[in-house]
Amino acid sequence: MKSALVTGASSGIGEATARRLDRDGWRVLLVARRADRLEALAAALHDAHALPLDLTAPDAPARAAAAVEERLGRLDLLVNNAGSAWRAAFGDPDGGYENVRRTMELNFDAVLRLTEALLPVLRRSAPSAIVNVGSVSGRVALPRSGAYSASKFALAGWSEALHLEERAHRVHVGLVQPGFVATEGFPQTDLTGRAATRWMVSTPERVAEAVLDAGPGGRAERWVPRPYAALWPLRVAAPALWRRVSGGMRR
């Protein structure tokens, strides 16, 4: 039986990914901070284990690695999905270095630390995969999202390098780049309420499908919804135009 570890599994994309893997018969180790939500989800799945964990804690990688060995015995897929955003302009009282530091700590540093701890078992279980859940904001930045974009730009660059490095070890590395996603905390009603912008909003379930597309033997990069992939070439080919358009946006 194939085994996966999914971070940020207590809600949203992480929960949807865990449910999608469960439907395909995977054994899943669920990681997040909210123990009650994790336990409820584990009970609803066929073969899942809850591991309440703050991924920024110093001992988090070692605890996750121990749980994988004890409860799974192998690891075919690591889904680095946990993350957050505290949006503010850098010059705002709450938007300076400390905001960037805590965003990087969870969205980037914690991903690297966990992956480093689990890389030996991923190599041992090969062919296997790592899927990092990034963001469209990891390719194009908008006002008041500098800290978030910095973390996701870093994640995208590191994922591309890791994809090339781990190929020899038969560990596939995929990157999923969601745009706006309607979740319980962010229903995105301002966008879904208008026909012109409804296409811009995805669901956790659609992102979960993209995670599987970027999983073992899959794609190196997957955008959700797919039309968002056009933003990056526009940013590169016409930077002045992109700055004029994006300067008035809010995300």
In this structure, what are the phi and psi dihedrals at residue 48, rounded to the nearest 5 degrees?
-140, 150
Reduce the DSSP state of residue 234 to 3 states and report it: helix
Specify the DSSP class assigned to residue 33: S
Paired tokens of 208: 């979960």
Among the options 26, 148, 153, 180, which is catalytic?
Answer: 148
Under 8 Å between Cβ of 145 and 85: yes
Interatomic CA distance for residues 71 and 161, integer angstroms:
30
Residue 3 exposed, middle or buried by CB count within 10 Å (0-12, 13-18, 19+): buried
Of the candidates 138, 151, 127, 176, which has an alpha carbon nearest to the alpha carbon of residue 20? 176
Interatomic CA distance for residues 106 and 250, integer angstroms:
23
Q: Is position 148 annotated as part of the catalytic site?
A: yes
Interatomic CA distance for residues 101 and 84, integer angstroms:
12
Paired tokens of 213: 């597309």
Question: Phi/psi zone of residue 188: left (φ > 0), alpha (ψ -120 to 50 degrees), beta?
Answer: left
Q: Please list the active-site residues.
A: 148
